[in-house]
Amino acid sequence: MFDLIRAAIPVFVLCLALEYLSFRFRPDDDELGYDLRDARTSLTMGIGNVVINLGWKLVVLAALAGAYLLAPVHLPATNPLTWVLLFVADDLAYYWYHRTHHTVRVLWASHVVHHSSRFYNLSTALRQTWTPFTALPYWIPLALIGIPPWMILLQQSVSLLYQFFIHTERVGKLWRPVEFVMNTPSHHRVHHGSNAAYLDRNYGGILILWDRLFGTFEPEGERVRFGLTKNIDTHNPLKVATHEYAAIARDVRGARSWRDRWGYVVKGPGWSPAVPAAAD
What pLDDT is attached to residue 154? 95
- Per-residue pLDDT of 101-110, as tens digits, reads 999 999 999 9
Do the beta carbons of residue 269 and residue 105 sit within 8 Å?
yes
State how far the Cα of 254 lies from the Cα of 35, in Å rounded to an integer.
36
Cβ contact 67:140 at 8 Å: yes
Q: What's the pLDDT score for residue 2?
A: 54
pLDDT over 70, % of the chain:
98
Separation of alpha carbons 172 and 185, rounded Å: 7
Return the HEC string of 56-84. Answer: HHHHHHHHHHHHHHHCCCCCCCCCHHHHH
Coil, strand, or helix at residue 117?
Answer: coil
**How does DSSP classify residue 30?**
T
What pLDDT is stored for residue 278 in this prediction?
57
Q: What confidence category does residue 29 fall into, taking pLDDT thresholds of 50, 70 and 90?
A: confident
Residues 208-228: what's their mean pLDDT?
Answer: 97
Question: Residue 184 — very low, low, confident or very high, per pLDDT cuts 50/70/90?
Answer: very high
At 69, is the pLDDT very low, low, confident or very high (cuts 50, 70, 90)? Answer: very high
Residue 83 has pLDDT above 50, yes or no: yes
pLDDT band (50, 70, 90) for residue 274: confident
pLDDT digits 0-9 by tens, 142-177: 999 999 999 999 999 999 999 999 999 999 999 999
Average the pLDDT over 232-249 and give the result. 97
For residues 181 and 189, the answer to whether their CB atoms sit within 8 Å is no
Cβ-contact 168, 226 below 8 angstroms: no
Residues in Cβ contact with 95 at an 8 Å cutoff, skipping those fewer than 6 apart: 203, 204, 205, 210, 211, 214
Does the pLDDT of residue 57 top 50, yes or no?
yes
d(Cα 251, Cα 262) in Å, to the nearest integer? 10
Burial of 264 (0-12, 13-18, 19+ CB in 10 A): buried
**pLDDT, averaged across the chain:** 95
Residue 273: pLDDT over 60: yes
Alpha-helical (H) ranges within the chain are 4-7, 9-25, 36-70, 80-103, 105-111, 122-125, 140-144, 149-164, 176-181, 185-191, 209-214, 237-254, 258-266
Predicted confidence (pLDDT) at residue 280 exceeds the cutoff of 50: no
Contact 19, 176 (CB under 8 A): no
pLDDT exceeds 50 at position 205 = yes
- Interatomic CA distance for residues 190 and 212, integer angstroms: 14
Question: Residue 86 pLDDT > 80, yes or no?
Answer: yes
Q: How far apart are CA 129 and CA 52, in angstroms?
A: 10
Q: What is the pLDDT of residue 165?
A: 97
CA distance 6 to 57: 13
Look at phi and psi of residue 33 and say left if phi exceeds 0, alpha if psi is from -120 to 50, else beta: left
Rounded CA gap, 97 and 232, in Å?
24
Give backbone dihedrals phi and psi of 228, rounded to 5 degrees, phi first. Answer: -100, 165
Task: Please list, residue by residue across 28-52, b when 16 or more beta carbons sit within 10 angstroms of its beta carbon and e when fewer do.
Answer: eeeebbbbeebbebbbbbbebbeeb
